[in-house]
Structure 1
């Protein structure tokens, strides 16, 4: 069984799983749609009070049971083994359309390098998005096929420092823009009156779990490769603060541009691919800014995609005995097949169901409801049906708070999030 070569390698890989499009594009999008600074109140509460304990639980379960997601569920209770496959299926489905967006970021890296100002509507009126989607999937599959040390570690050791350097450089440049003060105030000045909106809280909790990659079995899988003696609490805090730092810095990159050039902060998903490119075309050093921004998005998206594929690859390889290389490429082919309708929905085919693009349907159903399901399954299974003393021993420091939260509060929050979505 492969292991992380060092604590640093594990931290970088885990940060890579957490730091993705959710931190940069989606975080700023959700902040803009939910009143700016007010959103940070429930978001920070969700991160530290709920997502962090679930992260500790996943890492502890993975290391204690020494197994992939399916194996871990089976070792908790043999009859729960199929639930592990449910988690794998949800993550695999999310990955299928996540790679479509990853392909968009790769395309815009190319457009930016070539100095082409391509409108998102023009880009998606061709079949080009499908090609970029397939390229992104193949890159992901190649990385995972190489294994833990030669594939995932090497990729994250390159991409994570690269992403942080790009982000710091972009934030430094944004601080010189006229709208930096307005962007800062928008991000950090809360309007407490909107905190009465339950949808704001639902959005914050969903983003916190999505951003930190908790509840998907990713960190449970990574915990399987973690050596004894590495503190779970300290490691979880480092991962959480790194993830949070990226999200905040991304806001300080994007919102100054938005306010400097009179853009709409609540533009949502259009912000990264439609709104910001227009600003890049007219701002000083806009071409270089655009290249760095989309390279950052692609790097972050790829490390997250790799971690999602690893969940299924580890489980299938363990269950079948087939080599990692063959499993990785088989699952990559499956991801392409499953993600093709989502890719076609944002192409000249404009594939829709009931007037809604397939990718949007996938994001709203599998993306929105899938996390509720998987997080609940993980929290309930491993706190109610696993030896609590063994789990507490594995967690070490912080267990007195983390275990009760994961056992009682996380399932309750997931249920309330689901109820808020259904009623509102």
Structure 2
């Protein structure tokens, strides 16, 4: 028990303040999910209709669940597995399921973070290439291994290292994105981008698949059902106003996601490219952007360096979830847990990395990375987030959550409980009805 006690004491060091918590959570949320994933998912799902569905999902459903998960971490002061174990016996199984989902996501997330590192190195060398050229050799694998090693080194330094990185990252990243949006507004593709965002095909909002992608993206970018919020919430300072802090994080996350679209799509349309190119959209577009910009070499270095920092901080958040669970459950010292998880990432992530090398590893004809992202980053995290919310709201009394919200406003409490208790039931009923209708149609 001594080793577990030592780890718990070491890992419970709190963020230094509410702003530090907000900066760290924002850095965890504002990463590849916004700058890489949001534009390509939006491009594949009809532009404006997707934005409407995404914002609706975020405001109505995802925000209350976000606050609930952070509150649960603040209440338990433990890892994801330890937190849900306190709910009921099934909670232990669910806690490990969350860790497994986060492990799958982080394994390929580190690969894409490696791409951003590679592009940063190429920008410094003055040789930024489109993605097809970048991935012609084994760059994807080598940079993945380098990123994993660097992440392990930072995590050995603990919470304060993440906090320091986050405080430097967020303002610089936001300023540069705003500048690039300003430059994009002067391109021929700006008007087409405006139409792409604001001309909504309302009929598409009747498409269940569109809502599935919108909810999946909202859950993905705010890290719902992935253990991030529970783990980071366990470090939250005592006097933090929790709903306010979560609102700020969600606002920053949403703003950066939308700005990423306004930054990338004007060039996509200016270059005559299709918006539905998939996961390589940003890496195909941005090298061409900097090639045509005045001072493009310096902008490329700044952007890809900050892009890497954003992706890297999100990778650290995912790894922290896994490390906290492994260390506390297997009674390992933090150093041993970090090294064990880093080795696990190397073993799992190599398949995703090799899918963008001459070996071209695939699953069903789809690159391994894209297949894992489609499954783990979509329906699986929606299921995970709703299951976790149901567990917390059906088995933890409202007054216990109230004590850690940091506010006397009962509106947040009741909204959280209405969503957490009844939305999973409604989704289950909808799934059963949809399946029954499809079976009847098939029989007919």
- After TM superposition, the score normalised by the length of structure 2 is 0.89
Coordinate RMSD, CA, aligned: 2.3
Give the equivalent residue in structure 2 for 1:184: 194
Give the equivalent residue in structure 2 for 1:87: 98
Question: Quick check: 1:40 aligned with 2:51?
Answer: yes
CA distance in 2, matches of 1:421, 1:280: 48
Alignment counterpart, residue 300 of structure 1, candidates 310, 325, 329: 310
Question: Quick check: 1:311 aligned with 2:325?
Answer: no
| SS of residue in 2 equivalent to 1:13 | helix
| SS of residue in 1 equivalent to 2:274 | coil
Deviations 1:6-33 (A, max 9, x none): 1111001110111111111211112222
Alignment counterpart, residue 115 of structure 1, candidates 110, 118, 126: 126
Say if 1:147 and 1:324, in contact at 8 Å, map to a contact too: no
CA distance in 2, matches of 1:198, 1:75: 35
Give the equivalent residue in structure 1 for 2:170: 160
Give the equivalent residue in structure 2 for 1:362: 372
Say if 1:258 and 1:276, in contact at 8 Å, map to a contact too: no
Q: How many residues align?
A: 422
| SS of residue in 2 equivalent to 1:76 | coil
Question: Quick check: 1:384 aligned with 2:394?
Answer: yes
Distance change >3 Å, CA 110–CA 415, structure 1 → 2: farther
Structure 1 residue 330, shift from structure 2 partner: 1.6
Structure 1 residue 418, shift from structure 2 partner: 11
CA distance in 2, matches of 1:82, 1:266: 38
Say if 1:369 and 1:418, in contact at 8 Å, map to a contact too: no
Q: What are the within-5 Å matches in structure 2 for residues 346-357 of structure 1?
A: 346-357=356-367
Deviations 1:169-226 (A, max 9, x none): 2222223333333323322332323222221111111111111112211111111111
Q: What are the within-5 Å matches in structure 2 for residues 231-310 of structure 1?
A: 231-310=241-320
Q: What are the within-5 Å matches in structure 2 for residues 53-132 of structure 1?
A: 53-132=64-143
Say if 1:3 and 1:226, in contact at 8 Å, map to a contact too: yes
Say if 1:376 and 1:411, in contact at 8 Å, map to a contact too: no
Distance change >3 Å, CA 394–CA 329, structure 1 → 2: same
Distance change >3 Å, CA 79–CA 39, structure 1 → 2: closer
Distance change >3 Å, CA 48–CA 415, structure 1 → 2: farther
Distance change >3 Å, CA 52–CA 210, structure 1 → 2: same
Say if 2:119 and 2:128, in contact at 8 Å, map to a contact too: no
Distance change >3 Å, CA 393–CA 356, structure 1 → 2: same
Structure 1 residue 329, shift from structure 2 partner: 2.0
Structure 1 residue 79, shift from structure 2 partner: 4.7
- After TM superposition, the score normalised by the length of structure 1 is 0.93
CA distance in 2, matches of 1:415, 1:140: 42
Give the equivalent residue in structure 1 for 2:223: 213
Structure 2: 5+ residue runs without aligned partners?
A: 1-11, 439-444
Distance change >3 Å, CA 214–CA 417, structure 1 → 2: farther
Question: Quick check: 1:394 aligned with 2:404?
Answer: yes
Say if 1:42 and 1:204, in contact at 8 Å, map to a contact too: yes
CA distance in 2, matches of 1:367, 1:235: 25
Distance change >3 Å, CA 252–CA 119, structure 1 → 2: closer
Give the equivalent residue in structure 1 for 2:23: 12
Deviations 1:342-384 (A, max 9, x none): 1111112212244332222222223334313321331121111
Structure 1 residue 131, shift from structure 2 partner: 0.7
